[in-house]
A and B are shown apart, each in its own frame.
Chain A
Amino acid sequence: MRGVPAALRRAGPARWLAVPVGLVVAGVAVPLVYLVLRAAEADPAALATLVWRPRTLRLAGHTAGLAAAVVAVATLVAAPLAWLAARAETPRFPRAFRRFVTAAGVLPLALPGYVMATALLGATGPRGLLAGWPGVVLPRPAGFWGALAVLTLSTFPYLFLNLRSALAGLDPVSEDAARSLGLGRWAVARRVVVPQLRPAWLAGALLVALHVVGDFGVVSLVRFETFSGAIYVQYTASYDRVYAAALALMLLALTVAILAAEARLLGAARFARGEAARRPERIRLGWGALPAVTFAAAVAVAAVGVPLATLVFWLGRGPVDGPRVFVALANSVSAAAPAALVATLLAVPVAVVGVRRPGGMGRRTARAVERVAYLGYATPPLALALAVVAFAVRAAPFAYQTLGLLVAAYVVHFLAEAVGPVRSALLQAPPAAEWAARSLGRSPLGAFRGATLPQLRGGLATSAAFVFLSVLKELPITLLLAPLGFTSLAAGVWSAAGEALYATAAPYALVIVVVAGALVALLLGRDR
C-alpha cells in the first residue's frame, strides 16, 4: 500500500477484522462442503453422462449470454438515469425532476422478479389486461427476449444506485483540471468521468450478473432454460439431490469465472476524494428535459406501473384475508430486519479487508477474501437451505427451525449485496484521517470507527436496504428453514399464484411492493 506510514504497515492484521471475516468464510464454506460431499456420492460414470451432454453446454451458453445481455441493457437504462439524477438539473421543478428520475431508477427494486414476470404475462397478449386499449396488443414476454426484458427491468436499479452515488461522490477537481487543460465536455466525460465510474459500474454489474445467473423464477415463467432453472427443476420435480449438486457446482464454477473477470477489470482502482471535496455542479437541461422525463417515465411505466396496475386489478377480484397478510408481513420483517443488520455489520470488515488490505496483505488474497461473500450469493438457494439443514441437524440441533438459523442462512446468501455499496463508499473515503487517528494513539478499531465509518453511512444504508429487500422477496430458503408456522409474504404469493389464484396472491405481492417501496423512499429521502 503506497503512502501508508511504515509503523502501521508493520502492525499486522487487525484482530477486529479477523473474527468476522473468519465467520463469513466459515458460513460460505458450509454449503460448498455439502455440495461437494453430495456430488461425490454419485456414481462417477453415471454423473459423467449426465454432465457431459449437449444440454449442459446449451445451459451454460444461455446463462452466460443472458447475464451479459442483461448487464449491457441494464447499463444502457441505468447510466442515463443515474447521470440525470446526479448531474442534471431542469430549469423548472428541479427537485421534483430529481425525485422522479431517482424513483424511476430505484422503485423497480420493490418488485420481486417473479411477481413482475407474472404481472407482465397477465397484462400482455391478446387477452391480457392491456388488450383492453384498442390497437395495443403487446407480445407476451417469452424466451430469451422475454427473460432479457423482465430481468433488465428488475435488476437495473443495482447499477443505477451504484452509478448515481459514484457520480455524486466524484471529486470534481479532476474534471475541472481536464476542462482547464482544454478538453471538451464529451472528452472529459470519456477520459475522466467514465474511468472513475469503473469500480461502481463493476460492483453493480457483478450484482446484476449474479442475480441473472441465480434467477430461476423469471426464467421459468418466460420459458428460457438456464442453469439455475435446471437446478430448481432437479430439486423440485425429481428426487435427485446428487445430479442437482453437480449442476450447482457447475454454476459455482461459472460464478468464479465471473468474479475473476470482475477482479481483472477492477485492477487497482481507487479514487479517493480530496479532504475538502465539493459537490459536482449540475448541468442545466433546456429542452433536453423533455426526452429525459419521457425516458424516465417509460422505464417507470414498464417496470412499476404496468405490474402494479395488474396487481391492483387482481386485488379487486377477490376478498382480502387481512389478518393473515398482516401476520405474514410481521414474520417477513422479523427475519429481514436482523438479516439486513447482521449482513451490513459483517460487510464492513469484509470490504475493509478487500479495499484497505490491512497488515500489508497481498492484493490477490485481500480480493479473494472479499469475493468469498459472492460465492454465498451464487450458491443455489435450495442447495444452501439443504446444506444448512444437514449442518444444523448434526452440529446445532437446538438451532434447527429457529429464526436465528434462518437469519444466518439469509446472511450467508445475501452478504454480497451488502459488500458492494460498502466497498464503493470505502473506495471514495480517503484513508488519511484514519492514519492520523492511529498515529494519535487510537486503536485500529477506534480509528476506523471515528474517522472512516462516518464516511460510509450512505453505503451502509444502501447495503442494509438491499439485503432487507432481498429477504422480503426470497422464497426457497424461507420455505425450508423457517420455524414451523412461520408464514412470509413471498410464500403467500407463491402458494396462491402457483395454483393460479391471483386474487389471493395479489395482497401479499402488493404488501411486498408497498413495504419495499416505502423503504426505498426512506433511503431516497435520506440523501439530498
Chain B
Amino acid sequence: MRPFLLLLFAAAALGACGSDSSSTGAASGATSDADGPLVIYSGRKDVLVGPLVERFERETGIDVEVKYGTDAALLATVAEEGASSPADVFWANTEGALVAAAPRLMALPDSLTSRPAAFAADSGRWVPITTRFRVLAIAPSRIDTSALPASVMGLPGVAALRSRIGWTPTYSSFQDFISAMRATEGEPATVAWLDGMKALQPRAYESNAPMLEALEAGEIDVALTNHYYVLRLLEGGEEGEVESEEEEAAERAAEEAAEAHGDAEDRPDVAMHHFAAGDVGNLALVTGAGVFTASRRPTAAMRFLAFLLSPEAQAFAAEEVHEYPVVRGTALPGYMMPFDRAVALGPDLDASALSSLDETLALLRGRDLL
C-alpha cells in the first residue's frame, strides 16, 4: 500500500502546484474594467465556444475563462452566488434561459441590439447570436413524406406512426416548442395534441443526439428535433477531416447529385422534413448572450458580444455547428437554406411567447410527461 499512497500524495502535490499558476495576468483592453479575466458562463458546448473564445483572445488580448454547464444549472449557480458572482457574460443555449436571466442582465446599447436582423429581445437585455429551427427528422427509407401532415398539429392523426415517433419532453427546445404552440394554437389545442401524441405511444429520449441515433438504428421512424442535429449527421460536425474549400465544394456537389438520384448508399438514412410555411412545427429557436449587472468587466463583456455578432463569428457558427446566423449577409454553407427562407418558414410569433415556461412545465406535468 505504501507505494500506492505515495503515488497519490505525489499526484496531489503536483496538482496543488499546477493549480496555483493559472490565470493571473490580465491584459485589459484599455478600459475601466476590474482586473482579471473575462468570465463567461456558457450553456453552449465547448465545440462552438472554445474556438471562438480563442479567436477573441487573440484579436483583443483579453483573457477569457469559461465555465460550462447547462443553462439551468448555471442560472441556479448565479442565483446562489448573488451579488458576489464572478460571472460577466451569460451565453445561453435557449431563449427560455435568457428570458429567465433577464432581471440579472444589464440593458445593452443600440449598437449591439440593432445588429441582428431578427429575433430581437423585448427586454433589450440580451442579443440573439444564432438560431435553429424545429424540424421533423425522418428515415427516408421507411417514411413516405407525402403521407406526412402539412402541420405538426396533424401528427397525432397519423396512426401508422404508432410507437415509431421519437420526442424529448424533458428537453428545453421541446418545451420552447410547446410554449410556442400554446401561443399560436391555444391551450386546449396544445393539450389535445399532447394527449393525441401520447396515444401514439411515442418514445421519450433524454436529448436529441441519442434520439437521432435511435432513428438511424431503426428504433423509430420520425423524430421531433432541431435542424442542426440532422445536418450534423449528414454533413458531419466539426470533427473529422479538415478539408480545403474546393474539396468540400466538390464533395457537396457529388452529394447533391447522389441525393437527386435518390441514391444514398453511404449516407445515414436520415433526412429533414419541414412542415408548411408558418407552421409552429418549424419554430425558430434562438440562442443568445447578455451581460450580468454584477459584472465587473462590462466593457470587455460588451466587446465579446460585439465579437459574437461579427461576420467572422457568425460564419463560424454556420460552418461548424450548422446554426443560422442572425446578422444578415453572413455567408452560409450550400446545404443550408437561405436565412430569409428559413425565417419565413417559421410561425408568426409574439416575441414574449417563449417566456411562459412555467405554464408549459405545469402543462407537461399535468399530462404526466415531466
Show the binding face of A for B, using Cβ within 8 Å.
50, 53-55, 118, 121-122, 125-128, 140, 142, 220-221, 223, 229, 233, 235-241, 317-319, 330-331, 333-338, 340-341, 382, 386, 389-390, 393, 397, 400-401, 403, 457-458, 460-461, 464, 468, 476, 479-480, 482-486, 491-492, 495-501, 503-504, 522-523, 526
Closest 5 CB pairs between A and B? Answer: A334-B15, A500-B209, A337-B11, A220-B206, A125-B217
Q: Is the CB of A495 within 8 A of B79?
A: no
Q: Is the CB of B172 within 8 A of A237?
A: yes
Question: Which of B19, B232, B357 is close to A500, meaning CB atoms less than 8 Å apart?
Answer: B232
Q: Offer 16 A-B interface pairs, CB within 8 angstroms, sorted by A.
A: A121-B213, A127-B216, A140-B217, A223-B205, A233-B170, A236-B72, A238-B370, A330-B18, A334-B14, A334-B15, A335-B15, A393-B81, A457-B1, A479-B69, A499-B237, A522-B4
A497 to B212, CA, bound (A): 13
Q: Is the CB of B22 within 8 A of A480?
A: no
Question: Which of B37, B84, B214, B229 is close to A140, meaning CB atoms less than 8 Å apart?
Answer: B214
Known: A500-B229, A523-B4. A483 touches B22 (CB 8 A): yes
B208 to chain A, nearest CB (A): 8
Q: Is the CB of B23 within 8 A of A484?
A: yes
A466 to chain B, nearest CB (A): 13
User: With a CB–CB cut-off of 8 A, which chain B residues contact A389?
Assistant: 77, 80-81
Let me know if B188 is at the binding interface, CB within 8 A.
no
A228 to chain B, nearest CB (A): 12
Let me know if B12 is at the binding interface, CB within 8 A.
yes
Show the binding face of B for A, using Cβ within 8 Å.
1, 4-5, 7-9, 11-12, 14-16, 18-19, 22-23, 37, 39, 45-47, 65-73, 75-77, 79-82, 84, 86, 96-97, 100, 170-172, 175, 203-207, 209-210, 212-214, 216-219, 229, 232-233, 237-240, 242, 321, 357-358, 361, 365, 368, 370
User: With a CB–CB cut-off of 8 A, which chain A residues contact B4?
Assistant: 461, 464, 522-523, 526
Closest to B233 in A: A500
A332 to chain B, nearest CB (A): 9
A8 to B364, CA, bound (A): 62
A331 to B18, CA, bound (A): 8
- Max chain B C-beta neighbours (<10 A), residue from A464, A480, A482: A480
Known: A239-B357, A337-B12, A397-B84. A485 touches B22 (CB 8 A): yes
Closest to A318 in B: B239
B25 to chain A, nearest CB (A): 13
Known: A238-B361, A239-B72, A241-B79. A498 touches B1 (CB 8 A): no
Q: Is the CB of A334 within 8 A of B16?
A: yes
User: With a CB–CB cut-off of 8 A, which chain A residues contact B37?
Assistant: 484
Q: Is the CB of A337 within 8 A of B75?
A: no
Q: Is the CB of B218 within 8 A of A125?
A: yes
Closest to A492 in B: B46
Closest to B269 in A: A127
Q: Mostly helix, strand, loop or mixed at chain B's interface?
A: helix
A77 to chain B, nearest CB (A): 26
A408 to B101, CA, bound (A): 29
User: With a CB–CB cut-off of 8 A, which chain A residues contact B7?
Assistant: 522
A43 to chain B, nearest CB (A): 13
Q: Is the CB of B69 within 8 A of A480?
A: yes
A496 to B218, CA, bound (A): 23
Additional A-B contacts beyond A142-B219, A235-B72, A237-B170 (14; CB < 8 A): A53-B368, A121-B213, A140-B214, A221-B210, A238-B370, A239-B75, A334-B11, A334-B19, A337-B8, A389-B77, A480-B73, A484-B86, A496-B45, A504-B237
Q: Is the CB of B8 within 8 A of A127?
A: no
User: With a CB–CB cut-off of 8 A, which chain A residues contact B239?
Assistant: 317-319, 496, 501, 503-504
A290 to chain B, nearest CB (A): 35
- Max chain B C-beta neighbours (<10 A), residue from A50, A239, A317, A480: A239
Question: Which of A240, A393, A491 is close to B68, meaning CB atoms less than 8 Å apart?
Answer: A491
Closest to B170 in A: A233
User: With a CB–CB cut-off of 8 A, which chain B residues contact A233?
Assistant: 170, 370
- Max chain A C-beta neighbours (<10 A), residue from B69, B204, B212: B69
A382 to B96, CA, bound (A): 20
A468 to B77, CA, bound (A): 26
Q: Is the CB of A485 within 8 A of B23?
A: yes
Question: Which of B73, B96, B238, B358 is close to A501, meaning CB atoms less than 8 Å apart?
Answer: B238
User: With a CB–CB cut-off of 8 A, which chain B residues contact A240?
Assistant: 358, 361
A223 to chain B, nearest CB (A): 6
Closest to A341 in B: B8
B123 to chain A, nearest CB (A): 16
User: With a CB–CB cut-off of 8 A, which chain A residues contact B216?
Assistant: 127
B18 to chain A, nearest CB (A): 6
User: With a CB–CB cut-off of 8 A, which chain A residues contact B15?
Assistant: 330-331, 333-335, 337-338, 403
- Max chain B C-beta neighbours (<10 A), residue from A126, A479, A526: A479
Q: Is the CB of A464 within 8 A of B5?
A: yes
A526 to B1, CA, bound (A): 7
Q: Is the CB of A497 within 8 A of B209?
A: yes
A457 to B2, CA, bound (A): 9
Closest to B172 in A: A237
A409 to chain B, nearest CB (A): 13
Question: Which of A127, A338, A397 is close to B12, meaning CB atoms less than 8 Å apart?
Answer: A338
Closest to A389 in B: B80
User: With a CB–CB cut-off of 8 A, which chain B residues contact A229?
Assistant: 206
- Max chain B C-beta neighbours (<10 A), residue from A118, A390, A458: A390
A156 to B39, CA, bound (A): 42
Q: Is the CB of B240 within 8 A of A318?
A: yes
Known: A337-B12, A389-B77, A480-B77. A239 touches B100 (CB 8 A): yes
User: With a CB–CB cut-off of 8 A, which chain B residues contact A140?
Assistant: 214, 217, 219
Q: Is the CB of A127 within 8 A of B206?
A: no
A397 to B84, CA, bound (A): 8
Q: Is the CB of B1 within 8 A of A484?
A: no
Closest to A458 in B: B1
Q: Is the CB of A499 within 8 A of B232?
A: yes
Question: Which of A340, A401, A500, A501 is close to B212, meaning CB atoms less than 8 Å apart?
Answer: A500
A499 to chain B, nearest CB (A): 5
Q: Is the CB of A503 within 8 A of B217?
A: no
A54 to B367, CA, bound (A): 11
A483 to B365, CA, bound (A): 36
Question: Which of A223, A330, A403, A491 is close to B203, meaning CB atoms less than 8 Å apart?
Answer: A223
User: With a CB–CB cut-off of 8 A, which chain A residues contact B14?
Assistant: 330, 333-334
Known: A464-B5, A479-B69, A484-B23. A393 touches B370 (CB 8 A): no
Question: Which of B16, B97, B218, B237 is close to A127, meaning CB atoms less than 8 Å apart?
Answer: B218
A350 to chain B, nearest CB (A): 19
B209 to chain A, nearest CB (A): 4
A121 to B232, CA, bound (A): 19
Known: A122-B213, A236-B73. A393 touches B18 (CB 8 A): no
Closest to B100 in A: A239
Q: Is the CB of B80 within 8 A of A499?
A: no
Question: Which of B11, B67, B82, B171 is close to A333, meaning CB atoms less than 8 Å apart?
Answer: B11
Closest to A117 in B: B210
A340 to B6, CA, bound (A): 12
A393 to B1, CA, bound (A): 38
User: With a CB–CB cut-off of 8 A, which chain A residues contact B71?
Assistant: 236
User: With a CB–CB cut-off of 8 A, which chain B residues contact A319?
Assistant: 239-240, 242
A501 to B229, CA, bound (A): 11
Q: Is the CB of A386 within 8 A of B77?
A: yes
B369 to chain A, nearest CB (A): 9
A482 to B361, CA, bound (A): 30
Question: Which of B19, B75, B80, B96 is close to A403, meaning CB atoms less than 8 Å apart?
Answer: B19
Closest to A506 in B: B239
Closest to A496 in B: B47
A53 to B365, CA, bound (A): 10
User: With a CB–CB cut-off of 8 A, which chain B residues contact A338?
Assistant: 12, 15-16
